[in-house]
Amino acid sequence: MSIFDTKKLHGLYGRELLKQKDPYEYHVRYGEITDDRGIRSDNAPLFYDYDENDPLVRDLGRIFNDLNIRGYKKDGKEYLIFIKNDSEVSAGFITGAMKPEDKGLTYFDHDHIFNGKRIAPFLKPDPAYDTFMHFNYIRDVFFIDRETALEALEETGPVMGEDCLPDENGAWDRAFAELLFLHYFMEKGLVRHVEKTALHIRIREEDIRGYEEEDDDAKKSPERAIHRMYYEKHRAKDILRAHEKLRAKAGYAKDMEEYRVSVIIPSKDNSSLMKKCLEGFLNIAEKGRIKLQIITVDNGSREEERIKITEDIEKFNYENALKNRDSFAEYIYEPMEFNFSRMCNIGADRACYEILLFMNDDIEFSDDEPFISMFRYAMMKDAGAVGIKLLYPDSGLIQHCGITDLDCGPSHKLQFHDDGKIWYFGINRINRNTLAVTGACLAVTREKYFNVSGFNDKMKVGYNDVDLCLKLHEYGYRNIILNEVFLYHHESLTRGRDSKDDAKYQRLQMERSLLYRDHRWLRTDGDPFYNSRLITDTLDYDINVIPEYMKRSTRSIVSEIPPRELKKIERFSSGRLKFNIESVSFERAVNTEEDDHYVIEGWCVMDKRDNSVYLKELILIPGKKDGEDGRETSGEQGHVPALRVSLFPKYREDVSLVFKDSKRSELSGFAAKIPCNTVREDVSYLPAVEMTSFLTGKRNMSSDTGDVNIRNVVFGK
């Protein structure tokens, strides 16, 4: 008797379909622990209303006039709970996070209710001071113990009296008062983040009208419109002015009359690029706000290139001396194996100014303002490495807007995304804290750089910039990415990945292993500036719910089929079984303990049947080649067995629309992820698909692919 029944199979199918069609709804149903029994703030007895004459609540209500302030007592402590108006709340998540030792502010994640459905979650980072100073991401739902709230109001109240009084138009600066109050907690380190979606803000059609992106896909996506609406409302003129006022009041990122900067540029055989860099810095030197020392570190250019670079540096120095400027350039020529870290350290040892700017020779610039912004932040006492958003030229695509630790290692989140759009509540537009910034354009003070011993020269090419930033983070400094300004980086969009070259791949693996060995906390504690519920397998921002075929670590189960069994299988052919092989590709493993693999993608469907009750497997039969009737069962090294390969389901609405008489065929797509060591590259395989009923055990096989993309599968890197 089968352990499966139709109802159970339909349930499993529906669950997988939901995961692939609507990952966040899947998370809400199956991944989110609902310990609040569905109680909402508008009718929940858990929270109580304050007396309107309560002076603390009255004053805070004046500051947070679009938030509801409710009360709760637990373990002898009283809490003030701030909840955005016109929303629902998961009260249990909030009360469950209250602890006897609480002193300060605790904030939560939130999402939105649109047409009765929860969508567009804002899964926030842990407390990030520099992010807050530019974007108030904590204010939608939070609680404060009453005692600390009173202390904060007593300390900030006099300042509000000075700076928030009505202006000549009779307007009270509520936006600044709010930031000033919350800044008290941020500055004192009294802020805690709980990764629970405690608030659900109601959104109507008219709320997001006008916030849709221009492309058709975005117009169909209320999530993207909500992201943009949230960002733009938080960038309104009064709020931007309040942030500027707070930064000035806090003495944050103060401008200086002059910045003294040593620019370190590793370069080889790129005299034309170096010439452009020197010309750009000559223009910057003329503006008089930056005093420059340009240090070119060359690890062995050809003689003709070396001569050109020398001449251009002499010209740079002559032009500055002619105008009696202190800026100058020097050339360090030291033939050696390419080692980015060592070259940067050589330059840093020669540096004489207080700010170090590490920069690739293919950064395009014409103005000093982006650099002034970097130096302004780098000079802050607690700032570590400061980076800047980099775009690919002639495309507007993002190359770098902050580095995030993912399953595959530290990565450029949102790389290749269009910076003309607002991504994930404006994450690509906000100056914010990040785990690391790219060494392609990185500023740090000389003192801080040597405090952490500079770049690790054991990391010759990869992850050396991340390692530097992690050391700064561990030292107590804050790394910052400036996304309000940008530069162009001429790194090729089509440059071959290191994973395509065996030697480079091995080096990359070694350097990544070294990074995690030296910073073990990153694997155990995670990236503090990236919510653990966000996706870790892609460069997008979305809930971390992805189907198996998309996960980097998954592999198909591959087993050999004895010749006698293969003959039996072939007898169970079915005219109802339709399939197509659409692509075959090679993919490197992310980690050395995983297998490199081939990916075969296509679709299969049982026409006019319920497809949810079938086990689907790919059969690879060796030796039959295009145009041949015979079958070779041996390759260059002897007998080659037929293979049975497990498949991962994939959502394919297009296929289900073609086979309209089939039931539950939306998951008719498939992906096989076949370890390289299980197949032969000297053999051509005939693909077939077998679908076996879970209910009856009946087999259906087809090797007749009809009008297909790929008739025979040949593996090769």
Determine the pLDDT at residue 498: 54
Phi, psi of 178 (to 5 degrees): -60, -50
Q: Find the mean pLDDT for residues 316-336.
A: 93
- Asked if pLDDT for residue 158 goes beyond 60, the answer is yes
Determine the pLDDT at residue 39: 41
Determine the pLDDT at residue 487: 96
Determine the pLDDT at residue 352: 96
Instruction: Measure CA 224 to chain center.
Output: 16
- Asked if pLDDT for residue 274 goes beyond 50, the answer is yes
Count the Cβ atoms, other than its own, within 10 Å of residue 401.
Answer: 30
Determine the pLDDT at residue 284: 93
Token pair of 157 as six digits? 């109240």
Token pair of 199 as six digits? 């608030």
Determine the pLDDT at residue 163: 85
- Asked if pLDDT for residue 438 goes beyond 50, the answer is yes
Determine the pLDDT at residue 250: 94
pLDDT tens sequence across 45-76: 578 888 878 999 999 999 999 999 999 999 99
- Asked if pLDDT for residue 508 goes beyond 90, the answer is no
Token pair of 463 as six digits? 């992850």
* Cα angle, residue 437 at apex, residues 432 and 443 outer, rounded to 5°: 95
- Average pLDDT along the chain: 90
- Asked if pLDDT for residue 587 goes beyond 50, the answer is yes
- Which residues, 6+ apart, have CB-to-CB distance to 209 below 8 Å? none
Query: Could you tell me the domains of the chain?
Result: 32-249 (no CATH), 259-388+422-495 (3.90.550.10), 548-714 (no CATH)
b/e per residue, 533-563, with b = 16+ CB within 10 A?
bbbbebbebbbbbbbbbeebeebbebeebee
Q: Find the mean pLDDT for residues 40-46.
A: 49
- Asked if pLDDT for residue 687 goes beyond 80, the answer is yes
For residues 274, 279, 281, 285, the Cα torsion angle rounded to the nearest 10 degrees is 150
Phi, psi of 700 (to 5 degrees): -135, 125
Phi, psi of 586 (to 5 degrees): -105, 140
State the burial class of residue 694 (Cβ atoms within 10 Å of its Cβ: 0-12, 13-18, 19+): middle
- Asked if pLDDT for residue 34 goes beyond 60, the answer is no
Q: Answer yes or no: are the C-beta atoms of 518 and 467 closer than 8 Å.
A: yes
pLDDT tens sequence across 293-304: 999 999 999 999
Determine the pLDDT at residue 399: 96
Dist CA 662 CA 287 (whole Å)? 71
DSSP labels for 354-402?
SEEEEE-TTEE---SHHHHHHHHHHTSTTEEEEEEEEE-TTT-BEEES-
Q: Find the mean pLDDT for residues 462-469.
A: 96
Q: Find the mean pLDDT for residues 320-348.
A: 94
DSSP labels for 94-160?
HHHT--TT--SEEEEEEEEEETTEEEEEE-PPSP-HHHHTT--TT-SEEEEEHHHHHHHHHHHHHHH
Phi, psi of 135 (to 5 degrees): -155, 115
Q: What is the largest CA-CA distance in the chain?
A: 94
Determine the pLDDT at residue 35: 44
Dist CA 716 CA 521 (whole Å)? 38
Q: Find the mean pLDDT for residues 555-570.
A: 87
Lowest mean per-residue pLDDT among 427-441, 578-592, 667-681? 578-592
The residues pairing with 356 across neighbouring beta strands, listed in sequence order, are: 262, 444
Q: What is the pTM of this model?
A: 0.91
pLDDT tens sequence across 340-361: 999 999 999 999 999 999 999 9
pLDDT tens sequence across 218-260: 456 899 999 999 999 999 999 999 999 999 999 999 999 999 9
pLDDT tens sequence across 590-649: 777 788 999 999 999 999 999 999 999 999 999 844 444 444 444 444 678 999 999 999
Instruction: Measure CA 668 to chain center.
Output: 30
DSSP labels for 603-628?
EEEETTSBGGGEEEEEEEEET--TT-
pLDDT tens sequence across 168-200: 676 889 999 999 999 999 999 999 999 999 999
Determine the pLDDT at residue 394: 86
